[in-house]
Amino acid sequence: MSDATDTHCPYCSLQCGMRLKATGPDQPRSLEVLERSDFPVNRGALCGKGQSAPAVLDSAVRLTEPLVRDQASGELVPASWEEALERIAAGIRSAQQSHGLDAVGVFGGGGLTNEKAYSLGKFARIVLRTSQIDYNGRFCMSSAAAAGNRAFGVDRGLPFPMADIARTGCVILVGSNPAETMPPALRYFTELRERGGKLIVIDPRRTRTAELADLHLAPRPGTDLALALGMLHLVVAEARTDEEFIAARTTGWEETRAAAMAHWPEHVERVTGVPVPQLREATRLFCDAEPGAMVLTARGPEQQAKGVDTVSAWINLCLATGRAGRPLSGYGCLTGQGNGQGGREHGQKADQLPGYRMLNDPAARAHVASVWGVDPDSLPGPGRSAYELLDALGGDIRALLLMGSNPVVSAPRATHVEARIKSLDFLAVADVVLSETAALADVVLPVTQWAEETGTMTNLEGRVLLRRRAVDPPDGVRSDLAVLRGLAERLAPELAAGFPPAAEEIFAELRRASAGGKADYSGISYERIEAEDGVFWPCPEGGSPTPRMFLDRFATPDGRAVFTPVSHRPAAEETNPDYPVLLTTGRVLAQYQSGAQTRRTAELNEASPGPYVQLHPELAARVGAAEGDPVAVLSRRGRAVAPARITAGIRPDTVFMPFHWAGEGRANAVTNPALDPISRMPEFKVCAVRVELAT
Ligand code: SF4
């Protein structure tokens, strides 16, 4: 192989470009990370996670041989690939013969390449013929996706390139902390301010990102919807609406206007805790901004049981002020996982087929079935969403195949989910390390990872990228694609040819399956990605990429954006005397998602060795906790314990825990699985807890 390869980071949705160079002929698997300044998104900058990513390739805890659970000892023991795949095929057959096709579930991940996500969805629907497939991206951005679809007719995280952020006039960042989650993106916000633009951050905590803002609003968790309504109320009251835009390019304004007028600023202050003068200042900065303004959301407003309506409220604000469908203006979602965007476009979701087609649409079924060479009537219907699927384990669902996810740490109400996983008849996990979920499996398959395989990823801008293989995988591991091929050969040999192990061959089929869909990749090829350093979808065959969407029309049937009238409602779980504080969860700079890789990287672990409970000095005094004291956070579902980190940079009625760890500091033992009725997103961001000194 060449000794220097241009590729992309394995972690977040920014998908920073990097160059990997073998450190020497004697150490072909030892890679040095070099700057790749020609890639436009990060222009060479990387955070510590990207810099240290090669460490996971040769981690001492890397899995390099399949493991099967020994019946006698109950331990996981090494096995051949043949034995491991046979065990999985037998586990699947047994569950389906005894309990029906839907007795087997499939759980994917937002870090899988497009080719893997596509193949996993196809495998579930034509080999297993189960409806029970979903993925951890449901926990990431599904509320923004649903709200974007509802308003614009399609969901692409950012409908414009990241570079536009630096050139607009004002950005409202809602529940987003890129200073910790994607530091190379921060330069767009600092450049915005250097050019005279304004940055408004909305977060219950004074995060590192909030420190940089012109204005920081700190609402009570779960009240972002009311905040957006209060701003829209002021926009109407102060005649700052863009009537021409509303008339020409939208529908549904009158009902939305009426709903907003019911949310008086004084009422919004009582609900959110944000003073009216701050609300007015935020509204003024947003409306005055030239040449445009944006609202960007992340998990804060999205991971709520009213996440879709909350995002809709922010979209309504953009539409009412004409800040959408125009250059340097619009609404966008800063997706989290590496392939959070592509992972939701190609058929891993419970209700979707490739190309962002809906599974219950007869025309979509017919198109995809023809590409797959099967009868459309043989395709199952929509299945359960991620949490509902996990909750059904050991009940209707007796066996589970899991790729690229670690729900024992990342799912809400995680102790319950862990118990459901333990109650399965059969669990197979494909992973690179023995994650907390893999440790419970009957069969664990060691698979290749980012720099050892080629495949495409779609970043948060909808830019399809090629992640290139830079190093040969270690002996004993196989790709997820080879795993699916091996299982197809055993379970449905007549369909096995439809699961080639070569990613480029799968991508060629994905292009055909997505043709004419909302996420149309038919004009994108590996060659084109190489030549153009990423290609924005939609890009139909023979057509051009689309870096900026909606400039002429929205993707709705009539081309107009749709207002949705929404009203504030309380969180699924409010405080009471037994649980008087709100818990919100999030991420830290040196860890990623469930920590499966980053907790096993020495320098990241050193930088961020464990969980903590962030709390205000007033709350710490009430609890009797000093800095570093072990503090217990208890909800109706569970308990997590971690050292106190005391700061005035958080609301006194709120505590924060990062969710990257297992063990007694597992924040998701406490979180609430209450679901949004549309997106089925759990309410990770707010639940009622009691805080006390741990004994
Ligand atoms: Fe990787 Fe994201 Fe860090 Fe970039 S910001 S180096 S993509 S983790």
pLDDT at 26: 66
Centroid of chain to Cα 271:
28
Choice from 9, 140, 459, 604 to test ligand 1 binding pocket (greatest atom count within 8 A of CB): 9
12 lines ligand 1 (CB under 6 A): yes
Distance 334 CA to ligand 1 centre (A): 13
CA distance 461 to 161: 6
Question: CB within 8 A of 157, min separation 6: which ones?
Answer: 13, 141, 144, 332, 333, 334, 335, 340, 341, 460, 461, 462
49 lines ligand 1 (CB under 6 A): yes
pLDDT digits (tens, 9 = 90+) for 35-81: 999 999 999 999 999 999 999 998 889 999 999 999 999 999 999 99
Across the range 208-216, mean pLDDT stands at: 97
Distance 16 CA to ligand 1 centre (A): 6
Distance 42 CA to ligand 1 centre (A): 9
pLDDT at 340: 87
53 lines ligand 1 (CB under 6 A): no
Confirm if 48 and 604 have CB atoms less than 8 A apart.
yes
pLDDT band at 15 (very low <50, low <70, confident <90, very high): very high
Q: What is the DSSP letter of 613?
A: E
pLDDT at 27: 67
Alpha helices in 411-492 (DSSP H): 414-422, 480-491
Statement: residue 556 has pLDDT above 80: yes
272 lines ligand 1 (CB under 6 A): no
Centroid of chain to Cα 673:
16
Distance 10 CA to ligand 1 centre (A): 8
Distance 426 CA to ligand 1 centre (A): 35
For 348-370, give the secondary structure using H, E and C.
CCCCEECCCEECCCHHHHHHHHH
Distance 343 CA to ligand 1 centre (A): 17
* Phi and psi, residue 454, nearest 5°: -105, 140
CA distance 357 to 397: 25
CA distance 100 to 122: 19
pLDDT digits (tens, 9 = 90+) for 178-205: 999 999 999 999 999 999 999 999 999 9
Choice from 19, 35, 46 to test ligand 1 binding pocket (greatest atom count within 8 A of CB): 46
Cα–Cα distance list, 199 to 93, 163, 170 (Å) = 55, 15, 6
CA distance 39 to 185: 13
Q: Which residue reads 């414009």 in tokens?
A: 160
Domain boundaries, given as residue ranges, for the chain: 4-57, 67-136+339-457+468-536, 142-334, 581-693
pLDDT band at 1 (very low <50, low <70, confident <90, very high): very low
The strand ranges marked E within 303-423 are 330-333, 352-353, 357-358, 399-403
Confirm if 436 and 444 have CB atoms less than 8 A apart.
no
Q: Which CATH number fits domain 142-334: 3.40.228.10, 3.40.50.740, 3.30.70.260, 3.40.50.620?
A: 3.40.228.10
Distance 182 CA to ligand 1 centre (A): 6
Tokens for 343? 């992972």
11 lines ligand 1 (CB under 6 A): yes
Confirm if 132 and 402 have CB atoms less than 8 A apart.
no
Across the range 592-620, mean pLDDT stands at: 93
Statement: residue 642 has pLDDT above 80: yes
The strand ranges marked E within 157-243 are 170-174, 198-202, 215-217
Distance 604 CA to ligand 1 centre (A): 13
Tokens for 115? 């080719």
Tokens for 132? 């029970």
Q: What is the bridge-based pairing of β-strands 613-615 and 639-646?
A: parallel
pLDDT at 2: 53
Distance 461 CA to ligand 1 centre (A): 14
Residue whose Cα lies nearest atom 1 of ligand 1: it is 50
9 lines ligand 1 (CB under 6 A): yes
Statement: residue 648 has pLDDT above 90: yes
Q: Which CATH number fits domain 581-693: 3.40.50.1450, 2.40.110.10, 3.40.50.1100, 2.40.40.20?
A: 2.40.40.20
Choice from 18, 20, 36, 182 to test ligand 1 binding pocket (greatest atom count within 8 A of CB): 182
36 lines ligand 1 (CB under 6 A): no
Which of 105, 81, 94, 115 minimizes the C-alpha distance to 491? 94
Helix (H, G, I), strand (E, B) or coil at 414: helix
Distance 230 CA to ligand 1 centre (A): 35
Which of 434, 416, 409, 523 minimizes the C-alpha distance to 60? 434
CA distance 488 to 501: 12
CA distance 163 to 158: 11
Cα–Cα distance list, 481 to 30, 108, 310, 487, 488 (Å) = 25, 13, 38, 10, 11
Which atom of ligand 1 has the smallest separation from the CA of 12? Answer: 2
CA distance 391 to 60: 33
Which of 442, 583, 382 minimizes the C-alpha distance to 86? 442
Which of 572, 575, 587 minimizes the C-alpha distance to 691? 575
Across the range 626-643, mean pLDDT stands at: 98
Which of 667, 662, 663 minimizes the C-alpha distance to 682? 667
Centroid of chain to Cα 153:
20
Residues of the chain with pLDDT > 70: what percent? Answer: 99
46 lines ligand 1 (CB under 6 A): yes
Cα–Cα distance list, 255 to 62, 86, 562 (Å) = 56, 58, 11
Distance 32 CA to ligand 1 centre (A): 16
141 lines ligand 1 (CB under 6 A): no
340 lines ligand 1 (CB under 6 A): no
Q: How many CB atoms lie within 10 A of CB 82?
A: 10
Question: CB within 8 A of 590, min separation 6: which ones?
Answer: 48, 49, 598, 604, 605, 607, 608
Determine the angle formed by the axes of helices 114-122 and 503-514, rounding to 10 degrees. Answer: 70
47 lines ligand 1 (CB under 6 A): yes
Helix (H, G, I), strand (E, B) or coil at 655: strand
Tokens for 212? 């940089």
182 lines ligand 1 (CB under 6 A): yes
pLDDT digits (tens, 9 = 90+) for 497-506: 999 999 999 9
**What's the fold here for domain 4-57?**
N-terminal domain of TfIIb (2.20.25)
Residue predicted with more confidence, 22 or 467: 467
Centroid of chain to Cα 662:
20
Residue whose Cα lies nearest atom 3 of ligand 1: it is 47
Statement: residue 140 has pLDDT above 90: no
Helix (H) or strand (E) holding 133: strand 133-135
Which of 9, 63, 656, 108 minimizes the C-alpha distance to 385? 108
Can you say whether the dihedral through the CA atoms of 409, 411, 416, 418 is positive or negative? negative
pLDDT band at 141 (very low <50, low <70, confident <90, very high): confident
CA distance 170 to 301: 19
Q: Which CATH number fits domain 67-136+339-457+468-536: 3.40.50.740, 3.30.720.110, 3.30.70.270, 3.20.20.70?
A: 3.40.50.740
ipTM associated with this complex:
0.99
Cα–Cα distance list, 234 to 204, 408, 467 (Å) = 22, 44, 46
Choice from 8, 35, 49 to test ligand 1 binding pocket (greatest atom count within 8 A of CB): 49
Residue whose Cα lies nearest atom 4 of ligand 1: it is 16
Confirm if 215 and 281 have CB atoms less than 8 A apart.
yes
Distance 183 CA to ligand 1 centre (A): 7
Confirm if 570 and 683 have CB atoms less than 8 A apart.
no
Helix (H, G, I), strand (E, B) or coil at 204: coil
The strand ranges marked E within 225-351 are 250-251, 294-297, 330-333
Distance 247 CA to ligand 1 centre (A): 41
Distance 336 CA to ligand 1 centre (A): 10
Confirm if 18 and 54 have CB atoms less than 8 A apart.
no
Distance 672 CA to ligand 1 centre (A): 29
- For the chain, the average pLDDT equals 96
Residue whose Cα lies nearest atom 2 of ligand 1: it is 12
Alpha helices in 140-214 (DSSP H): 142-152, 178-181, 186-194, 208-211
pLDDT at 28: 65
Helix (H) or strand (E) holding 114: helix 114-122
Question: CB within 8 A of 639, min separation 6: which ones?
Answer: 632, 633, 664, 669, 670
Distance 185 CA to ligand 1 centre (A): 9
